[in-house]
Chain A
Amino acid sequence: MNLPDEKGYFGNYGGRFVPETLISALYELEEGYGESKKDPGFIRELEYYLENYSGRPTPLYFASRLTEKLGGAGIYLKREDLNHTGAHKINNTLGQILVAKKMGKKRIIAETGAGQHGVATATVAARFGLQCAIYMGEEDIKRQELNVFRMKLLGAEVIPVATGSRTLKDATNQALRDWVSNVETTHYIIGSVVGPHPYPLMVRDFQAVIGRETKKQVLEIENDLPDYLVACVGGGSNAIGFFHPFANDNKSKMIGVEAAGKGLSSSCHAATLNGGSPGVLHGSFSYLLQDAAGQITEAHSISAGLDYPGVGPEHAYFKETGRVTYQAVTDEEALKAFLLLAECEGIIPALESAHALAYLEQLIPSTTKNETVVVCLSGRGDKDVAMVSEILKGAV
């Protein structure tokens, strides 16, 4: 069955839980995206920019020293960190800005946590000459000065959000309020597979290039499908894009790794699927972190990109069907994996991606040497270097 259904549901999850004012914009977007994806001109244009602007296809790299060190299955890394702007985020922003242009929108807005999606949005807005405003929580602005400056360099206006917890969730609320107020002229580029239908579908489709390339590359090298796919899950866009083309290949087991922060039993984590419960946030029904009265609670993770109290509805569906297993690793485990990859492969991963790598410590002992694992290395870690240095007090 092709999901989501026409109401935007993946099984029980998804939908369009938004104020009436936004509904017409969601239908307009559904139609605009639906036409784009059938238009050979649109597909060619997107492919052109993915190839020549972002640098796709990204390599599938055999991490031989890491493989040797962990002593089990062969480990490949899908190098999304080598994309322009340093992460998979641009796959989605390129796709959405082309849709926005086709729909005649003049202005782009987006939410950002650490600033990666904000930078990827500001980048494409600059390239296509559209006005751009990025909502960012005041707390995050303080923590991510460099990305704020990057967005400004790229011509975007960065709007501080002082409400609620002053982080990504509140930036998303504010972006939704802006969209409600400027819906005729403005397209809202949501950064993950969250939000009301058609966003989880559209963002998944734009990110599925990760999985399509991986499949082709791994078949060329190994002449077989991988045994395991591992990706980190915050909102879940790199994971969905990576997993989706393999969804019907039962040979490949898929594992999504959430941020356990200071531990699942502490209240300081961002593991929505492992430690949350179903509910409605930001336009869709999925898993979220909430208290007994249905108020959304704050997430915590060392990785700002995973620090979100919701998750894409398709992940909730995959959890329910069991097609994907969701695990969680702590801040400490992620930090260890961050250091390990830098040391033995010369690649500094984003702290988000380090969560996927950290899970290998648990997975690899149960594998054999003739099996293969592919990890989605969703972004590079330059953005995290200052913070890690602070945590380690400069000593590695």
Chain B
Amino acid sequence: MNRIESTFKEVKNSGAKGIITYLTAGYPGLETTEELVMAMAESGVTMVELGVPFSDPVADGPVIQAASMRSLQNKTTLADVLSLSKRLREKLTIPLLIMTYYNPVYAYGVERFVGEVKNSGIDGVIVPDLPLEESDWLAGKLQKENIHFIYMLSPTSTRQRMITTVQKATGFIYCVSTAGVTGTRDAIPKEGLSLLARIRELTELPLALGFGISTPQQVASLGDGADAAIIGSAIIKLIDQGGNKEQIKDRMKTYLGEFMSKGRFF
């Protein structure tokens, strides 16, 4: 059993909601990213997604776009994020995921990427611009190495796509709460909640809802629909507020502490 599967099992048994956090690696610097991931793990997050910066992040809203640009100014590469993962894996037991657009993977070499993902102890890979139509090749290679390729479903996905996706998916399904890009929103859109219900009818796989989530109240409002919430832009905004590493870490711990006390149980 891969770490993601066993972790979701524990989360389910505890009756809590998983909290998955996203960080753009290399923003504001790789060292800070490393410390922030450790701080998140200490705060009790369920798993962490490391974002690989890309010059043209079409699925992302302004907050993550800006973080990507800053990280690219620091010359962060996919190779850097893979070695960061390796360092983190030596210190961490929670699952680590990597989120990257496809072109950096293609430029790195797909086979080499799969090999390094395995060496770095990464448990899952999310590629937002590889839909069902284009992902078989990479997903197959990853699954052979017991690494999950995380499929995404959105409110615009047809029932037929949902059926195909749940047949192929392992680990969990990344459910996109709204037709839109990443970024914080006030409430969970109705279309997101109904998406969860539609997928839940088709599969026992854990469902994680992302895009727009930033408060424990939103997580609590998910009810039985989702097993985990994914928080991205809200985390980046904490970094945007600036300060030194310790200040950012403290801010992060305070923020995540709220989720651990209020949002995880319902």
- Point out residues on A near B: beta carbons under 8 Å: 7, 15-25, 163-164, 169-170, 173, 176-177, 180-184, 278-283, 290, 292-296
User: Which residues of A have CB within 8 Å of B7?
Assistant: none
* B163-188 with Cβ < 8 A to chain A: 176, 179-181
Query: Is the beta-carbon distance between A296 and B107 smaller than 8 angstroms?
Result: no
Query: Is the beta-carbon distance between A294 and B108 smaller than 8 angstroms?
Result: yes
* A–B complex contacts, Cβ < 8 Å, 5 sampled: A18-B131, A23-B156, A183-B156, A280-B129, A294-B108
Residue ID in chain A nearest B153 by CB atoms: A20
Query: Is the beta-carbon distance between B152 and A19 smaller than 8 angstroms?
Result: yes
Task: Identify which of B56, B105, B179 contacts A180 (C-beta below 8 A).
Answer: B179
Tell me whether B72 is interfacial, beta carbon within 8 Å.
yes
Q: How far is the CB of B15 from chain A (nearest CB, A)?
A: 30
Q: A290 vs B72: C-alpha distance in the bound complex, in angstroms?
A: 13
A17-B134, A23-B161, A163-B69 given; A181·B55 CB < 8 A: no
User: Which residues of A have CB within 8 Å of B154?
Assistant: 19-21
Q: A19 vs B133: C-alpha distance in the bound complex, in angstroms?
A: 11
A18-B129, A294-B104 given; A282·B78 CB < 8 A: no
Q: A177 vs B130: C-alpha distance in the bound complex, in angstroms?
A: 16
User: Which residues of B have CB within 8 Å of A294?
Assistant: 54, 78, 103-108
Query: Is the beta-carbon distance between B131 and A16 smaller than 8 angstroms?
Result: yes
Query: Is the beta-carbon distance between B58 and A176 smaller than 8 angstroms?
Result: yes
User: Which residues of B have CB within 8 Å of A20?
Assistant: 128, 131-132, 152-154, 156-157, 161, 176
How many interface residues does chain B have, given as a range? 35 or more
Q: A170 vs B54: C-alpha distance in the bound complex, in angstroms?
A: 12
Query: Is the beta-carbon distance between B54 and A21 smaller than 8 angstroms?
Result: no
Tell me whether B77 is interfacial, beta carbon within 8 Å.
yes
Query: Is the beta-carbon distance between B56 and A164 smaller than 8 angstroms?
Result: yes
User: Which residues of B have CB within 8 Å of A176?
Assistant: 58
11 A-B pairs besides A177-B58, A282-B56, A282-B58 with CB distance below 8 A are A20-B128, A20-B156, A163-B62, A164-B69, A279-B106, A281-B103, A283-B129, A293-B78, A293-B104, A294-B107, A294-B108
Query: Is the beta-carbon distance between A16 and B77 smaller than 8 angstroms?
Result: no
Tell me whether B197 is interfacial, beta carbon within 8 Å.
no
Query: Is the beta-carbon distance between A24 and B157 smaller than 8 angstroms?
Result: yes
Q: How far is the CB of A108 from chain B (nearest CB, A)?
A: 18
Q: A293 vs B52: C-alpha distance in the bound complex, in angstroms?
A: 11
A294-B107, A295-B104, A296-B56 given; A17·B181 CB < 8 A: no
Tell me whether B14 is interfacial, beta carbon within 8 Å.
no
Residue ID in chain B nearest A277 by CB atoms: B107
Residue ID in chain B nearest A298 by CB atoms: B55
Task: Identify which of A19, A278, A281 contacts B131 (C-beta below 8 A).
Answer: A19
The 7 closest A-B pairs by CB, nearest first: A294-B107, A294-B104, A21-B154, A293-B77, A181-B180, A295-B55, A294-B103
Query: Is the beta-carbon distance between A279 and B103 smaller than 8 angstroms?
Result: yes
User: Which residues of A have CB within 8 Å of B69?
Assistant: 163-164
Q: How far is the CB of B262 from chain A (nearest CB, A)?
A: 30
Tell me whether B158 is interfacial, beta carbon within 8 Å.
yes
Residue ID in chain A nearest B179 by CB atoms: A21
Q: A22 vs B134: C-alpha distance in the bound complex, in angstroms?
A: 14
Query: Is the beta-carbon distance between A16 and B56 smaller than 8 angstroms?
Result: no
Residue ID in chain A nearest B75 by CB atoms: A293
Tell me whether B202 is interfacial, beta carbon within 8 Å.
no
Residue ID in chain A nearest B156 by CB atoms: A24
Tell me whether B255 is interfacial, beta carbon within 8 Å.
no
Tell me whether B79 is interfacial, beta carbon within 8 Å.
yes
Residue of B59, B77, B78, B176 contacting most chain A CB atoms (<10 Å) = B59
